[in-house]
Amino acid sequence: MLHKDVTLHEPQVSALQEKAGQLHDDATQRDVDDLVTKYRNLLSGAEQQVSQLELQVAAHEQYKATYHDAMEWVMGTRQRLQGLNDSAGSAEAIQQRLTEVEVGVGG
């Protein structure tokens, strides 16, 4: 919002600068030049702030995507574990399920 507010004043600053140039008054021209410099510094600061916020948004979006992937992995692993929860059967069948759990958790 701040960046937009600052850029909205560009036409007025430009018009002021042009009118000051037409006055041929050195003191007024210096004052206007000082004002224009302050305006440009403010605009530059606002642009830097926008850039930093865009980087933060991108980092947050990456975090959300990574979090979503991790949660999908956790839920999938949980479902596989629940499916393998049955302790009935032969020792061979139980060993097979244990192997499936070990492979599933690692991958």
Which pair of tokens denotes residue 34? 């000082």
pLDDT at 14: 92
Burial class from Cβ neighbours inside 10 Å (0-12, 13-18, 19+) for residue 81 reads middle
- Tell me the pLDDT tens digit for each residue of 14-58: 999 998 888 888 899 999 999 999 999 999 999 999 999 999 999
pLDDT at 88: 72
pLDDT at 104: 66
Q: Domain map of the chain by residue range?
A: 2-106
- Tell me the pLDDT tens digit for each residue of 71-94: 999 998 888 777 777 667 778 877
12: which residues sit within 8 A by CB, 6+ positions away? none
Answer yes or no: are the C-beta atoms of 3 and 49 closer than 8 Å: yes
pLDDT at 105: 63
Cα distance between residue 49 and residue 44, in whole Å: 9
CA dihedral for 17, 19, 21, 23, sign (positive or negative): negative
